[in-house]
């Protein structure tokens, strides 16, 4: 029986792309002891390539952690200066920019996202690396007043050590950039698990890490299922911190596993059912455009998607009609066609889940004003769907669907809008559409959400923190706040004078 391949070739956009299929541990690709798997193109439900992707067993995760620990103890976390970490991160960003077309083509086929959006996500990943490269030589603590002229106190900000990072399928390289950039900047080493559905672009990233010249073991990739590989990371006694982006249910399990093992640090960016509040003073046409963008981007597969539109009753019907037209105008099709605006859902199970929620919404009495059906006879495409005549207690208004489905709910006044906006177990994001500054100022303070957009949606900046309230997670990504998750703060008190120890 032939040995499994560690590389394969993908032909896309008139280009031949060699793609790794192995685990990336201690600076090299290798075979794994887990059950190898096919990665499926959701546009046709066929394997992206004939060859299987290697999966990590518990022993492989152990090997990756050992490599990361050695790198942290001997080089990356101890002797490599911030300026050198910055240089390597900038080099990696340059290589990502160089290979954007290749990375985007592979990511589009692997995940069902349009190649145009993949290019934008990849540009975001390289920009995030550059942003945190700027922080790498600026990590510092505070000098504090002592209790005597010959005493002083100060703080040291030190890397936590080896970190395990688990990301979802919906933004593979963008989420990789958000995760690894702050960790590398402060001097942590990484054991990284991409989503089982979308590992290929991350394996290409590992190849670029090697080309950039990072020390061996600083960045390791372990493919595999959440049940086996993800659990091994969450439970590992020699991982100092784990970060996870994904569902709230899985996040709970990771928090428990982290606590039961070595009480490792945990940061979680989880689900959402985010509201957008549209007030009478808003520019309705712009509110419709931003709202459509905020929910239908990436086929609705975004944790921060604005899936609950709370619209004042005076402009409700006008808004619903315009949103329905906007949804119907979205072009579905091949992900490699640059005119395509929406691709398929990630896999069959997610497709069926979304279609089930559409049936639930109809059974609950909501009115379908756009979409509500699959698109085409092949592939996992769902038409952008708009439900009107929804009340906030319906399942489609409370449960995360993770597909191109949005509900529009009327409200009578500001207090009612805020009450409905906060009436959910989630708190990841929200939006306010209003031209009245006093109205915006009041409402933004009352919304229980980690991010509030005003007269826009989904626009993120690397210098602005992102994360959730309530069951949408713990901690923050991006900005200076994103560094905190990867550092320990050590307080030092120094008596450098003649004062003797007090008598007992």
The reply to whether 377 falls in a domain is yes
Task: Give the model's pLDDT for residue 97.
Answer: 98
Would you state the pLDDT for residue 472? 97
Tell me the pairing of strands 151-159 and 487-495. Answer: antiparallel
Indicate whether 292 and 249 sit together in one domain: no
Q: Structural domain of residue 318, as residue ranges?
A: 275-454
The pLDDT value given to residue 500 = 79
Are 215 and 283 in the same domain? Answer: no
Residue 11 DSSP one-character state: E
Tokens coding 342? 């929406």
Round the average pLDDT of the chain to a whole number and report it: 96
Distance CA 325, CA 460 (A): 27
DSSP per-residue letters across 282-307: S-HHHHHHHHHHHHHGGGG--TT---
The predicted model gives 275-298 an average pLDDT of: 98
Same domain, 227 and 119: yes
Yes or no: say if 280 and 504 are a contact pair by the CB < 8 Å rule: no
| 110 vs 103: CA distance, rounded Å | 10
The helix/strand/coil state of 62 is helix
The residue with tokens 């409370």 is: 398
Angle formed at CA 464 by CA 459 and CA 470, multiple of 5 degrees: 90
CATH of the domain at 404: 3.40.309.10
CB 33 within 8 A of CB 57: yes
Set 269, 313, 399, 499: catalytic member: 269
Give per-residue pLDDT as tens, 201-258. Answer: 999 999 999 999 999 999 999 999 999 999 999 999 999 999 999 999 999 999 999 9
Same domain for 314 and 259: no
- The candidate with the shortest Cα–Cα distance to 67, out of 199, 212, 214, is 214
For the chain, what's the residue count?
Answer: 504
* Residue 189 sits in the same domain as residue 280: no
Q: How much is the average pLDDT of 359-377? A: 97
Angle, CA 455 vertex, CA 291 and CA 325 arms, to 5°: 30
In a domain, residue 221? The reply is: yes
Instruction: Identify whether residues 172 and 223 lie together within a single domain.
Output: yes
Q: Is pLDDT of 5 > 90?
A: no
Residue 1: pLDDT band with limits 50, 70, 90: very low
The answer to whether residue 339 scores a pLDDT higher than 80 is yes
Residues 401 and 303 in one domain: yes
Nearest to 491 by CA among 158, 186, 188: 158
Mean pLDDT, residues 484-502 taken together:
90
Residues 134 and 160 in one domain: yes
- In this structure, the answer to whether residues 225 and 254 fall within a common structural domain is yes
Q: How confident is the model at residue 502 (pLDDT cuts 50, 70, 90)?
A: confident
Burial 90-128 (b: 16+ CB within 10 A, else e): bbbbebbeebbbbbbbbbbbbbbbbbbbbbebbbbbbbb
Choice among 134-148, 351-365, 377-391 with the minimum mean pLDDT: 134-148
Please indicate, yes or no, whether residues 442 and 477 belong to a single structural domain of this protein.
no
Assigned domain for 214 exists: yes
Q: What is the DSSP string of 237-286?
A: TT--EEEEES-HHHHHHHHHHHHHTT--EEEEE-----EEEE-TTS-HHH
7 lies in some domain: no
Cα separations in angstroms, 486 against 2, 161, 478: 42, 8, 12
Q: What pLDDT sits at residue 332?
A: 98
Contact 192, 180 (CB under 8 A): yes
The verdict on residue 459 lying in a domain is no
Tokens encoding 376: 């085409």
Residue 43 forms part of a structural domain: no
Whether 125 maps to a domain, the answer reads: yes
Model confidence band, residue 3 (pLDDT cutoffs 50, 70, 90)? low
Structure tokens at 456: 């826009």
Position 22 pLDDT exceeds 60:
yes
What pLDDT, on a 0 to 100 scale, did the predictor assign at position 436? 97
How far is it, in rounded angstroms, from Cα 500 to Cα 477? 46
Same structural domain for residues 335 and 440? yes
- Locate 233 and state its tokens: 């990371």
CA 254 to chain centre: 16
What CATH number is associated with residue 133?
3.40.605.10
Cα end-to-end span (Å), the chain: 75
Residue 4 has pLDDT above 90, yes or no: no
Tell me, yes or no, whether 340 and 224 share the same domain: no
Domain count for the chain: 2
Q: Please check whether residue 17 lies inside any domain of the structure.
A: no
With a cut of 70, say whether residue 427 has pLDDT above it. yes
CB under 8 Å to 155, separation ≥6 — which residues? 141, 142, 144, 489, 490, 491, 492
**pLDDT by residue (tens digit) across 57-111?**
999 999 999 999 999 999 999 999 999 999 999 999 999 999 999 999 999 999 9
Active site residue 269: yes
Q: Tell me how far apart the alpha carbons of residues 373 and 381 are, in angstroms, rounded to a whole number.
A: 9
């Amino acid at each position: 029986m032939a040995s499994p391949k560690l590389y394969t070739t993908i032909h896309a956009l008139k280009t031949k792309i060699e793609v790794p299929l192995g685990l990336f541990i201690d600076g090299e690709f290798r075979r794994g002891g887990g059950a190898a798997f096919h990665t499926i193109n959701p546009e046709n439900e066929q394997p992206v390539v004939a060859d299987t992707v290697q999966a990590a067993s518990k022993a492989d995760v152990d090997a990756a952690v050992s490599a990361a620990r050695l790198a942290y103890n001997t080089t990356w976390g101890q002797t490599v200066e911030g300026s050198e970490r910055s240089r390597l991160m900038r080099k990696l960003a340059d290589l990502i920019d160089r290979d954007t077309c290749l990375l985007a083509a592979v990511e589009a086929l692997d995940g069902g996202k349009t190649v145009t959006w993949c290019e934008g996500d990849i540009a975001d990943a390289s920009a995030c690396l550059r942003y945190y490269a700027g922080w790498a030589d600026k990590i510092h603590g505070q000098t504090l007043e002592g209790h005597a002229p010959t005493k002083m106190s100060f703080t040291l900000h030190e890397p936590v050590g080896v970190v395990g990072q688990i990301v979802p399928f919906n933004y593979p390289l963008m989420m990789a950039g958000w995760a690894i950039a702050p960790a590398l900047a402060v001097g942590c080493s990484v054991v990284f698990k991409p989503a089982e559905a979308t590992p290929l672009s991350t394996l290409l990233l590992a190849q670029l890490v090697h080309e950039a010249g990072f020390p061996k073991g600083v960045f390791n990739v372990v493919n595999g299922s959440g049940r086996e590989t993800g659990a091994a990371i969450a439970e590992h006694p020699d991982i100092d911190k784990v970060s996870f982006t994904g569902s709230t249910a899985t996040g709970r399990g990771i928090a428990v596993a982290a606590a039961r093992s070595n009480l490792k640090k945990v940061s979680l960016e989880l689900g959402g059912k985010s509201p957008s509040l549209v007030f009478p003073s808003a520019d309705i046409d712009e509110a419709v455009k931003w709202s459509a963008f905020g929910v239908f981007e990436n086929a609705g597969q975004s944790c921060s998607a604005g899936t609950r539109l709370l619209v004042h009753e005076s402009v409700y019907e006008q808004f619903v009609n315009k949103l329905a037209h906007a949804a119907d105008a979205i072009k579905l099709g091949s992900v490699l066609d640059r005119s395509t605006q929406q691709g398929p859902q990630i896999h069959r199970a997610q497709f069926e889940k979304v279609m089930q929620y559409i049936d639930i919404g109809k059974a609950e009495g909501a009115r379908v004003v756009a979409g509500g059906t699959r698109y085409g006879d092949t592939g996992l495409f769902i038409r952008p769907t708009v439900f009107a005549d929804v009340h906030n207690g319906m399942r489609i208004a409370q449960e995360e669907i993770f597909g191109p489905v949005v509900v529009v709910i009327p409200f009578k006044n500001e207090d009612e809008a805020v009450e409905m906006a906060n009436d959910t177990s989630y708190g990841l994001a929200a939006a306010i559409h209003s031209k009245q500054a006093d109205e915006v100022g009041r409402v933004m303070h009352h919304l229980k959400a980690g991010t509030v957009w005003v007269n826009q949606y989904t626009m993120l900046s690397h210098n602005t923190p992102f994360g959730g309230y309530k069951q949408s997670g713990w901690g923050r990504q991006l900005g200076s706040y994103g560094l905190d998750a990867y550092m320990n703060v050590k307080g030092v008190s120094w008596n450098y004078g003649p004062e003797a120890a007090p008598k007992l």
